[in-house]
């Protein structure tokens, strides 16, 4: 396709949105290819770079499969700075709420022998508010492997781009492409900064012996560390692992969590005819990974007791809220006194949904449009296992130091009622 576009006078930049390590893992798990916020963030960064290197050239996106969803999310972020989008056999439905904010004229190309994807594209067409068109390639299946079908894709894409991309001007400079900042919302510098801001909304829980802070790994841990530090509360992690439908791992039929908790979605299991053997096989595999992460993050320290406590569940932000919802449901089974969800940023509908499950939701910002959590951070690198482990160890040391300071103030004969976790 790139060669055909070049032959028609259009410059091309080919991007691999996954690292070699991620691609190797994705071959067995399929996880990264469905991480649309990650793919869109990398495409957005590449767009900003390209506009700086080639300021005279207008920008269009061509994406296939889940890459098409990433292209639509990035197009929503960049607004009118992206002039056209073409999706080939794509999954525009995975762009979610971003579809309503795409301004670039969008062409959806689907094979006539790909009925499921055709249905999803028709649904996405109804959500797009920009200039749009759906083109059907007769005789083409999902990968367009039939003779002549991919050439027809290239022809349609080239015509769409030539129609909507203005001719470049060597002397003219386009405005640099930057992701739009939501009105009234300044991006957080990083997760630590977000934690400091979030903690201000949770100060009513400071210096209380019945409060604990639980972080959803991995990105939620740096945020929760700052929250726990300012509330003078113990910090721990609460792990949640999605139970993906076999062969459709992006669809969750339930989740497992720390403490041996399992939460199921009966409707999904009924609709997809998931039996007990399939459920147990997936559960066993996820339990192994959950146990591995428990050991990697916490070491020999026992988990904090939840029963009778006010639990503040923290993540670096939520989009759909699926992981946080599973965490709230799992924590509820451990008999806490109160569950508070604390996140720096979330779309208002998700925050409201979580408010129906938790006892309280504290959210520093509820911006619209909401595309992804990462768009509200200036620095949003992946959090690795080592950083999680170091922060948990630092929090444990700080808790012990504060407790020893209280010990030095005891009168002779006094006995403490509580001790730090793991001591």
Q: What is the DSSP string of 323-342?
A: HHHHHHHHHHTT--SEEEEE
pTM (2 d.p.): 0.56
- Position 141 scores a pLDDT of 92
- Which tens digit of pLDDT belongs to each residue from 294-320? 888 887 778 889 999 999 999 999 987
* HEC sequence for 301-315: CCCCCCCCCEEEEEC
- Position 176 scores a pLDDT of 32
pLDDT bucket at 177, cuts 50 / 70 / 90: very low
Polymer length of the chain: 423
Higher pLDDT, residue 335 or 253:
335
pLDDT of 157 strictly over 70:
yes
Sign of CA dihedral 272, 274, 279, 285: negative
- Position 68 scores a pLDDT of 95
* C-alpha gyration radius of the chain: 24
pLDDT of 204 strictly over 70:
yes
pLDDT of 251 strictly over 80:
no
pLDDT of 6 strictly over 80:
yes
pLDDT bucket at 180, cuts 50 / 70 / 90: very low
Strand order in the sheet with 261-264: 240-245, 248-257, 261-264
What are the C-alpha distances in Å from 384 to residues 72, 113, 293, 355, 390? 28, 42, 11, 30, 10
- Position 178 scores a pLDDT of 33
What are the C-alpha distances in Å from 154 to residues 2, 321, 331, 347? 8, 38, 51, 37
pLDDT of 246 strictly over 90:
no
pLDDT of 171 strictly over 60:
no
Region 275-302: what's the mean pLDDT? 85
Nearest to 1 by CA among 60, 80, 83: 60
Q: Which residues pair with 261 in a beta bridge?
A: 257
pLDDT bucket at 184, cuts 50 / 70 / 90: very low
**Residue 188 DSSP class:** B
CB crowding 227-242: b at 16 or more within 10 Å, else e: bbbbbebbbbbbbbbb
Higher pLDDT, residue 383 or 340:
340
- Position 170 scores a pLDDT of 39
- Position 416 scores a pLDDT of 53
Q: How far apart are CA 224 and CA 391, in angstroms?
A: 10
Nearest to 303 by CA among 213, 205, 408: 213
Measure the N-to-C terminal CA separation of the chain; round to a whole number of Å: 62
- Which tens digit of pLDDT belongs to each residue from 383-423? 888 899 899 988 888 777 666 666 655 555 555 555 555 44
Portion of the chain with pLDDT greater than 90, in percent: 41
């Amino acid at each position: 396709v790139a060669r055909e576009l070049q032959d028609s006078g259009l410059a091309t930049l080919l991007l691999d949105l996954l690292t070699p390590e991620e691609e190797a893992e994705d071959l067995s798990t399929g996880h990264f290819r469905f991480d649309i916020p990650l793919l869109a963030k990398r495409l957005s960064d590449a767009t900003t770079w390209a506009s700086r290197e080639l300021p005279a050239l207008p920008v269009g996106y061509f994406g296939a499969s889940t890459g098409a969803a990433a292209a639509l999310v990035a197009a929503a972020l960049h607004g009118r700075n992206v002039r056209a989008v073409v999706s080939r056999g794509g999954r525009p439905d995975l762009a979610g709420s971003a579809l309503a904010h795409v301004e670039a004229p969008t062409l959806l190309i689907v094979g006539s022998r790909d009925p499921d994807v055709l249905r999803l594209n028709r649904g996405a067409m109804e959500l797009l508010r920009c200039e749009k068109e759906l083109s059907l390639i007769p005789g083409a299946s999902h990968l367009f492997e039939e003779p002549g079908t991919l050439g027809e894709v290239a022809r349609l894409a080239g015509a769409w781009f030539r129609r909507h991309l203005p001719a470049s001007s060597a002397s003219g400079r386009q405005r640099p492409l930057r992701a739009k900042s939501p009105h009234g919302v300044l991006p957080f510098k990083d997760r630590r900064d977000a934690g400091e801001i979030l903690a201000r909304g949770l100060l009513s829980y400071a210096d209380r012996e019945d409060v604990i802070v639980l972080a959803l790994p991995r990105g939620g841990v740096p945020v929760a560390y700052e929250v726990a530090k300012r509330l003078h509360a113990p910090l721990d992690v609460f792990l949640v692992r999605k139970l993906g439908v076999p062969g459709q791992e992006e669809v969750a039929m339930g989740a497992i969590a720390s403490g041996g908790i399992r939460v199921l979605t009966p409707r999904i299991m009924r609709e997809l005819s998931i039996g007990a053997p399939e459920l147990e096989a997936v559960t066993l595999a996820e339990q192994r990974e959950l146990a591995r992460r428990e050991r990697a993050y916490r070491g020999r320290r026992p988990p904090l007791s939840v029963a009778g406590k006010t639990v503040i569940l923290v993540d670096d932000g939520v989009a759909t809220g699926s992981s946080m919802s599973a965490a709230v449901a799992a924590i509820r089974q451990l008999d806490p006194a109160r569950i508070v969800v604390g996140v720096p940023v979330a779309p208002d509908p998700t925050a409201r949904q979580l408010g129906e499950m938790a006892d309280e939701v504290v959210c520093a910002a509820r911006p619209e449009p909401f595309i992804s959590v990462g768009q509200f951070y200036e620095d949003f690198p992946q959090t690795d296992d080592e950083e999680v482990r170091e922060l948990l160890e630092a929090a444990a040391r700080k808790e012990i130091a504060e407790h020893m300071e209280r010990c030095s103030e005891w009168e002779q004969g006094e006995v403490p009622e509580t001790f730090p976790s793991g001591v």
